[in-house]
Amino acid sequence: MPRTPAPAASRPRSSRSVARLRTGGRRPGSVRARLGAALGVLGLGALLVVAGAPAAQAHNALRETSPADGSTVPYTPDRVTLTFDAPATALGTELVVTAADGTVVSAGPAELVDSTVAQPLAGALPAGAYTVRWRVTSADGHPIEGTFGFVAEQATVAGTGGAPPAVDEPEPTPTPTDAEVTPTPTPAAEADPSPSASPTTAPDDDAAVSGPVLVGVAVAVVAVGAVVAWLLLRRRPTA
């Protein structure tokens, strides 16, 4: 009469040990599942790194302003200027300059030349604090914005190009004497020259990452994944 195989629970301990040694202590399906999950995670990470490279390169960043942020200038300028890492697009670019009382003193649209954006100001401007709120659009359509301010010590009038008008002093009246004396007029007071605003370097928050470096990182991630997969497959026992 043939013998019925004993259930797994009733098999001798030595038989179960031999079975575990033959399979390497792991189920083949479990090894394949773990290998597939690891390769999937590595592939997704490499894809995200490569896909994020163009966006990181295209974003713009403010480099300097004139007048500089927080500076004090002798008189109000006829325009404010912002310099960026890369050229901006006219669509969505706007600069609004306001005086201390909230009056908007910017005149006309912003002027874009290469990576510089300039905003003309109204002709007659009072002394005091000014605030510049700016918003520009990068080449990839990503908008960036910010605010800076400066203080003007003197007011200006229209038509002076941002400088206070020269003050003319009256000529002295010659005193009659026996000998004719030629009066020497006092020269008009010269206007203070316009100092160049010290540039202020904005923090490099959106520092552009070079594309070759990101591609190299992605290739390294894929290579590591391949090595891990090879090691896992090599450790699988033969039947």
The 10s digit of each residue's pLDDT in 91-129 is 989 999 999 999 999 999 999 999 999 999 998 899 999
The span from the CA of 56 to the CA of 68, in Å, is 27
Amino acid at site 3: R
Answer yes or no: are the C-beta atoms of 127 and 152 closer than 8 Å. Answer: yes
182 Cβ contact partners less than 8 Å away, ≥ 6 residues apart: 174
Q: What is the pLDDT of residue 28?
A: 55
> pLDDT under 70 in the chain at which residues?
1-58, 157-213, 215, 235-239
Q: What is the gyration radius of the CA atoms in the chain, in angstroms?
A: 38
Cis peptide before 67 (omega within 30 of 0): yes
16 Cβ contact partners less than 8 Å away, ≥ 6 residues apart: 8
Within 10 A of 221 (CB to CB), how many other CB atoms are there? 20
pTM for this model (two decimals): 0.48
Q: What is the pLDDT of residue 219?
A: 74
Answer yes or no: are the C-beta atoms of 96 and 106 closer than 8 Å. Answer: yes
Phi/psi at 112 (5° precision): -105, 125
The span from the CA of 60 to the CA of 86, in Å, is 6
